[in-house]
Structure 1
């Protein structure tokens, strides 16, 4: 079976602190995978390792059948867990910046998403409320035609309406060739859009399964399965 992302034996320590411990993951095209666990579980470290921001101590990462290399980053759209835009920017400047930075940026798609997410291109980034800032970052991310989308806590600390709009945007960006890895501790809020889940704690992968199997074979919601797994840690 084809896979967009394969992770084999990923291990990373920061000094004496083990951040990732022999992590194995596989994500297939056309699927949204949730990387779930409490704060400090290692979720961000996995995403940064895929983006080659953090260098692993051991392990391999394969993207679309090719070992991760410098060119791989052009196929990945990464949304970090913080605002990475310059404060002087208006939204329109951020769009222009992304258009210049990424060859797969679709200007028409950005206009469509601005309309759908009710984003004002003239607005100053520094004055955007948290929910509107998250909408803007999601708009920029999904205006790219990437093979893999990495989202780090994309719905943290925002209102229910903004959250729903963002989840709809993630779903609308899916096709049979791309995939999403969404890191979050907000299991309830995202479980309706997930195809697969990976549960991580203290750098260890505790469990992984498809959402379909969790519901049909285990007879549980993703949240119920999450609580069961973490209660036994």
Structure 2
């Protein structure tokens, strides 16, 4: 019997690149109304897992289900994915990026995007090539969160972003929280983000090293999630 709160399910997922195993036998269920931290150092498999969920990479074996349906072109439309790399055209102004998203996605809420951009002081007339790394990071997150979907996946949203912009990005995520939706955020900057996480998944060498509710893990290990991160990866 399926869990009515279940939004994304991964079963026995393995990904191999030639002789290298990037992910090995990953099984995990994501529920609505939760913010998940996908944690681990570079090379642990975080981006590979996200790209398979998004349908950008094909798994070697295993299954991905979204809203109890196998991953397909149609089910992928339930996910808003923000990759870690900068995917915005330098020649665009911010307003052109908004229009691009509006043209690409039927579920994109342009008015909502402009409200966020106004709140975080990103001028629609700014040229993307002239934006600081902090403004670029905020713009990418604002665009991803302006889609009305079930799952938001943000790959290293705090990477290369100044401290004040990190705080703004965290506020954006918490303001967009909805009990019917799920957020999956990959990062290795654990201290910055652990306060908003409901559940955490520690990936190591393509395997799940540890998974659980953030508060339960803090209590059982008598340490913060950052402290637990240091423990798990102390020999990496």
Unaligned runs of 5+ in 1: none
Unaligned runs of 5+ in 2: none
- The aligned residue for residue 217 of structure 2 is 214
- The aligned residue for residue 86 of structure 2 is 83
- The aligned residue for residue 13 of structure 1 is 16
- The aligned residue for residue 62 of structure 1 is 65
Which digits, 9 at most, give the CA deviation of each residue in 1:33-77, with x for residues without a partner?
011111011100000001111000011111111111111121110
- The aligned residue for residue 94 of structure 1 is 97
Q: How does 1:10-49 map to 2 (within 5 A)?
A: 10-49=13-52
**Quick one: distance in 2 between partners of 1:30 and 1:60?**
23
- The aligned residue for residue 130 of structure 2 is 127
Compute the TM-score of the two structures, normalised by the length of structure 1.
0.97
Compute the TM-score of the two structures, normalised by the length of structure 2.
0.95
**Quick one: distance in 2 between partners of 1:204 and 1:93?**
40
Give 3-state SS (helix, strand or coil) of 1:4's partner.
Answer: strand
Give 3-state SS (helix, strand or coil) of 2:24's partner.
Answer: strand
**Quick one: distance in 2 between partners of 1:105 and 1:213?**
36
**Quick one: distance in 2 between partners of 1:77 and 1:32?**
14
The CA deviation at 1:217 is 3.4
The CA deviation at 1:112 is 1.3
**Quick one: distance in 2 between partners of 1:131 and 1:25?**
33
2:119 equivalent to 1:116: yes
The CA deviation at 1:232 is 7.2
Work out the number of aligned pairs and report it: 233
